[in-house]
């Protein structure tokens, strides 16, 4: 089972000073900043998923996350060089898609088949996913003849029509990547119908989309229905799904790869599960910058609190965290400093109990990843992109370790010895 991490130009500055919070003035982001597979000795994924919408933006409006210079460099150098894939501990692969979520509200996908092929082949990707149109609804009892399914059926037919054109154009152009068709549906049967159609076209690798909102039993119901039509040689890729505990079950249904940003984004988007360990997750210790927190800045402007007092509380919290990491003070003064500062910048949530658990357990001191060993307690401090992204990279590392353990257990279970 391979894990692909969706790229969004998430990198960290190796020269960032966590005490002064300053960068090297001569830093060049593309040259000097590190991707997760460079920041960690052991790459935390098997490859990257790169979206045309992220790189090029949407046709007819909307910009991607790449600058013009970055976009031109990717096309000029190719993906292997641009993403420095040789820096990983294993050969990493690149899968391309269109970024269907970026145009989900439109009547029709904004890209032509040849534009997408140009993107995949021009960048030297290993796999390329056909143009698709997302179906968000899941109503297993609704048949294709029901009038409520009219829009879903329209999107499915668009996706299948584009998949057939994509397959024919890939063969005619003799592309250097492996094409994947996309199965979109709203029920187990509609997903099975889509897979059957894609196999008739000729696809042996099929991406299954639109399942992000689904619960695991619903995903398994769809995979079971697909099993009834899936050929033994057909391999499935789950788009946007990361449920490590279900990997062996997914694998039994022909799933050989998946992609997700969830472990990374939880580092700074989740309210509780910010820091992964093999056994559990922990809340990160929130110490926002005085000049970077909108709520706190509003209180300062309103005269409710002085800026100097806020800065004093912020500095005290950071100092005590570092003293605690060095073994110089006990946990309670640290929890109190965090609570005092939280009362100023937040004033609502009391995370003292959760903070105490994170501090007492000291999970960062038990982690073997390069980032935890390098920056210590800084990695569990919720503050600014450099710490938050490093914590996201750490989560990817732990997720990959969990995935590897699942693979090994699955192999042992299948071994007749």
Chunked in runs of 10, what are the mean pLDDT values of the chain (417 residues)?
94 96 91 94 94 84 81 94 82 94 93 97 97 95 93 97 98 98 98 98 98 95 98 97 88 96 97 96 97 91 94 98 98 98 91 98 97 98 97 97 83 64
Active-site residue numbers?
97, 259
- Using DSSP, state whether 304 is helix, strand or coil: coil
Angle between helices 307-325 and 331-345 (to 10 degrees): 150
What pLDDT sits at residue 94?
97
Side-chain half-sphere exposure of 126, counting CA atoms within 13 A: 12
DSSP alpha helices (H): ranges in 302-369?
Answer: 307-325, 331-345, 352-361, 363-366
For tokens 């990279």, name the residue: 393
Going from N- to C-terminal start, the domains of the chain cover 2-260, 269-399
For tokens 């992204």, name the residue: 389
Q: How far apart are CA 326 and CA 235, in angstroms?
A: 50
What pLDDT sits at residue 331?
98
What pLDDT sits at residue 242?
86
What pLDDT sits at residue 347?
83
For tokens 């279900």, name the residue: 246
What pLDDT sits at residue 89?
67
| Fold of the CATH domain 2-260 | TIM Barrel (3.20.20)
């Amino acid at each position: 089972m391979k894990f692909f991490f969706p790229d969004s130009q998430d990198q960290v500055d190796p020269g960032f000073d966590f005490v002064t919070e300053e960068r090297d003035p001569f830093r060049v982001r593309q040259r000097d900043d590190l991707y997760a597979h460079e920041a960690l000795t052991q790459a935390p994924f098997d490859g990257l998923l790169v979206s045309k919408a992220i790189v090029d933006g949407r046709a007819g409006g909307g910009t991607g996350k790449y600058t013009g210079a970055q976009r031109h460099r990717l096309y000029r150098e190719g993906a292997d060089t641009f993403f420095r894939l040789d820096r990983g501990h294993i050969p990493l692969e690149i899968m391309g898609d269109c970024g269907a979520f970026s145009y989900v509200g439109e009547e029709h996908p904004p890209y032509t088949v040849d534009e997408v092929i140009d993107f995949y082949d021009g960048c030297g990707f290993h796999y390329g996913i056909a143009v698709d149109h997302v179906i968000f609804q899941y109503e297993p009892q609704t048949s294709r003849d029901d009038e409520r399914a009219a829009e879903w059926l329209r999107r499915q037919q668009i996706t299948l029509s584009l998949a057939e054109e994509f397959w024919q154009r890939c063969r005619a152009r003799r592309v250097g990547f492996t094409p994947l068709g996309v199965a979109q549906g709203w029920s187990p049967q509609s997903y099975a119908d889509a897979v059957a159609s894609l196999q008739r076209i000729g696809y042996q690798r099929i991406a299954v989309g639109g399942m992000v909102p689904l619960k695991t039993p619903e995903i398994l119901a769809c995979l079971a229905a697909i099993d009834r039509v899936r050929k033994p040689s057909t391999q499935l890729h789950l788009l946007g799904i990361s449920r490590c505990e279900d990997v062996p079950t997914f694998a039994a249904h022909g799933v050989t790869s998946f992609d997700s940003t969830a472990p990374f984004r939880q580092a700074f988007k989740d309210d509780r599960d910010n820091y992964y360990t093999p056994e559990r997750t922990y809340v990160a210790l929130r110490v926002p910058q005085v000049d970077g927190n909108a709520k706190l800045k509003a209180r300062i402007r309103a005269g409710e609190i002085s800026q100097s007092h806020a800065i004093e509380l912020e500095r005290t919290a950071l100092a005590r965290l570092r003293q605690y990491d060095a073994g110089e003070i006990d946990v309670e003064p640290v929890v109190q400093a965090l609570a005092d500062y939280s009362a100023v910048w937040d004033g609502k949530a009391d995370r003292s109990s959760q903070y105490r658990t994170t501090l007492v357990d000291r999970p960062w001191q038990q982690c073997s990843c390069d980032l935890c060993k390098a920056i210590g307690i800084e990695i569990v401090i919720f503050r600014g992109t450099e710490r938050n992204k490093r914590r996201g990279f750490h989560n990817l590392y732990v997720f990959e370790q969990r995935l590897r353990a699942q693979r090994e257990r699955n192999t042992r279970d299948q071994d007749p010895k």
